[in-house]
A and B are shown apart, each in its own frame.
Chain A
């Protein structure tokens, strides 16, 4: 990786970001920092602007006010499509609906962008893709088409596709929300391992227990503002703000009643990672 690790500089930083879409104020002054190697979760009620923040970080949406820095680059200063594309090559994105390319096999989904965009030669890209598939435990599915896979498998391919570009950080946009409960565990297990390896991750999630377990920092967002942020242990055990407490109570109670179905013990947790 080309960038220099200066301790003070965050990999991602948002300062006073305001965004209005179709007359609705979606973001109203967001401040957020992600340090290299950190896992940062963004939690909050539906429609609070969580996913919008991720879309701003990759330049898919342009805030009317405020500043976004990704790896020292100010997004507002990027004028051309090529500059934005170059930035996105370093920022992985995993969608709620996976959005794999249905006309390509699993392997081709992972190989296409590294070959076309990064200029990797095919054999290198292939062997990297195969080892990534092993990491997400889908080694046997290289030649399958996305339509032949379950939701959980497709989402793991989507994570591998993002990893294939060797990004400096990955943004996860409610990646388990579209999944059947029994498939949530296998996807979270893959993310958990990424975090443990030190991949910088930003997670927009409704999985409160998972957020508590893996994140270094948690931001609670409501109506386009950061209501409270801090260490995960602090936010989940003793939040300062009344609204955070109310939200967590609601969310955790809901999760507890669904827990019996969704949190199957994950056996492949013990498997070692090959990098």
Chain B
């Protein structure tokens, strides 16, 4: 019962968002299949060595891309969870708490992502000792943490901005209906914040995803790393050009829908 209100309140927005993204996703899928079919058929006909190489490396590249997706999803999830807590702490009436949270945000928002990745890779331990067993700490998890740091700082700032952007008249209207502050926060302020936060949050998601390419610099087998290995193994100029174009295309296919959805949501939620 308690969550019904929210569900019904949010439904229209989600439904129409889906109606836009579904055809877009379907079109992308069909385009991808067509591209694959063409890539499959042409080498058989022409026996072109370039396309043969690409075809041979494609599974490895896609496997590498999976690492990027995995890191980006985990980093944004961790960053969002931590960022919401830190964002709330920034607004804490307890001054030392708010100050520490604010400095956390300032430090990690203003640090280059690559430096944070090096930081997490070379400062964090290689493994954690739990009693007699050792828990390995693989590189990709370190990179995930390195990206989660700036993600959390940015989410905290997005959250703080969203809360501050709600007109004080909304607090007053809630108070006059007899809502206590915590209730006003839960039922009036927070739902409006989440809507305002969505577009900048998705922007951040795209940024973090692009940042995952930096993982290759600390030895994670991601798309870019795989492309580099493929390029030096095959050792053909035309293949090198093609493989980096393919890398670009794969990132584009992942990030472009996110940025389009963001633009759509920005328009949709400009309700004031």
A88 partner residues in chain B, CB cutoff 8 A: 175-178
Closest to A161 in B: B177
User: Of B3-11, B55-63, B199-207, which stretch is located at the interface?
Assistant: B3-11
A115 near B170 with CB under 8 A, answer: no
Q: Is B264 an interface residue (CB 8 A)?
A: no
User: Of A26-34, A104-112, A242-250, which stretch is located at the interface?
Assistant: A104-112
A116 partner residues in chain B, CB cutoff 8 A: 179, 183, 187
A99 near B178 with CB under 8 A, answer: no
| Alpha-carbon separation in the docked complex, A113 to B177 (Å) | 7
B272 near A102 with CB under 8 A, answer: yes
Size range of the interface on A? Answer: 35 or more
Q: Is B29 an interface residue (CB 8 A)?
A: no
Q: Is B181 an interface residue (CB 8 A)?
A: yes
Q: Is A147 an interface residue (CB 8 A)?
A: yes
B192 near A112 with CB under 8 A, answer: no
Q: Is A122 an interface residue (CB 8 A)?
A: yes
Q: Is B173 an interface residue (CB 8 A)?
A: yes
B9 partner residues in chain A, CB cutoff 8 A: 103-105, 108
Query: Considering the complex, which residues of chain B in the window 101-153 have a beta carbon less than 8 Å from any beta carbon of chain A?
Result: none
Interface residue SS majority, chain B: helix
Query: Considering the complex, which residues of chain B in the window 1-58 have a beta carbon less than 8 Å from any beta carbon of chain A?
Result: 1, 4-5, 8-9
Closest to A54 in B: B176
| Alpha-carbon separation in the docked complex, A81 to B179 (Å) | 9
B191 near A117 with CB under 8 A, answer: no
Q: How far is the CB of A261 from chain B (nearest CB, A)?
A: 28
A93: contacting residue among B170, B176, B183, B272, CB under 8 A: B176
Q: Is A73 an interface residue (CB 8 A)?
A: no
Q: Is A21 an interface residue (CB 8 A)?
A: no
A165 near B192 with CB under 8 A, answer: no
A147 partner residues in chain B, CB cutoff 8 A: 271-272
A85 near B170 with CB under 8 A, answer: no
**A60 and B172 in contact (CB under 8 A), knowing A85-B178, A113-B177, A145-B271?**
yes
A99 near B170 with CB under 8 A, answer: yes
**A103 and B191 in contact (CB under 8 A), knowing A88-B177, A117-B183?**
yes
Closest to A114 in B: B177
Q: How far is the CB of B85 from chain A (nearest CB, A)?
A: 23
24 residue pairs of the A-B complex, CB under 8 angstroms, read A58-B176, A60-B172, A60-B176, A82-B180, A85-B175, A86-B178, A88-B175, A90-B178, A92-B176, A95-B173, A95-B176, A99-B172, A101-B174, A102-B272, A103-B192, A104-B191, A108-B5, A108-B8, A112-B5, A113-B179, A117-B177, A117-B179, A145-B271, A165-B177
Closest 3 CB pairs of A and B: A89-B178, A99-B173, A93-B176
| Alpha-carbon separation in the docked complex, A100 to B174 (Å) | 9
| Alpha-carbon separation in the docked complex, A147 to B8 (Å) | 18
A104 partner residues in chain B, CB cutoff 8 A: 9, 191
B180 partner residues in chain A, CB cutoff 8 A: 81-82, 85
Interface flags, A185-208, vs B, CB<8A=1, else 0: 000000000000000000000000
| Alpha-carbon separation in the docked complex, A90 to B178 (Å) | 8
Query: Considering the complex, which residues of chain B in the window 189-242 have a beta carbon less than 8 Å from any beta carbon of chain A?
Result: 191-192, 195
Q: Is A65 an interface residue (CB 8 A)?
A: no
- 9 new A-B contacts, CB < 8 A, other than A108-B8, A116-B183, are A97-B169, A99-B172, A101-B173, A103-B191, A105-B9, A112-B5, A113-B177, A116-B179, A147-B272
| Alpha-carbon separation in the docked complex, A78 to B195 (Å) | 36
B271 partner residues in chain A, CB cutoff 8 A: 102-103, 145, 147
**A111 and B5 in contact (CB under 8 A), knowing A93-B176, A165-B178?**
yes
| Alpha-carbon separation in the docked complex, A104 to B177 (Å) | 15
| Alpha-carbon separation in the docked complex, A103 to B188 (Å) | 8
| Alpha-carbon separation in the docked complex, A95 to B271 (Å) | 20
Closest to B192 in A: A103
Closest to B270 in A: A147
Closest to A118 in B: B178
A122 near B183 with CB under 8 A, answer: no
Closest to A105 in B: B9
Interface flags, A149-172, vs B, CB<8A=1, else 0: 000000000000110010000000
A113 partner residues in chain B, CB cutoff 8 A: 177-179
A101 near B170 with CB under 8 A, answer: yes
B8 partner residues in chain A, CB cutoff 8 A: 108
| Alpha-carbon separation in the docked complex, A206 to B187 (Å) | 34
Closest to A145 in B: B271
A86 partner residues in chain B, CB cutoff 8 A: 178
A93 partner residues in chain B, CB cutoff 8 A: 176
| Alpha-carbon separation in the docked complex, A95 to B171 (Å) | 13
Q: How far is the CB of A127 from chain B (nearest CB, A)?
A: 16
| Alpha-carbon separation in the docked complex, A74 to B169 (Å) | 26
B178 partner residues in chain A, CB cutoff 8 A: 85-90, 113, 117, 165
Interface flags, A236-273, vs B, CB<8A=1, else 0: 00000000000000000000000000000000000000
**A60 and B183 in contact (CB under 8 A), knowing A103-B195, A111-B5?**
no
**A101 and B5 in contact (CB under 8 A), knowing A85-B179, A89-B177, A147-B272?**
no
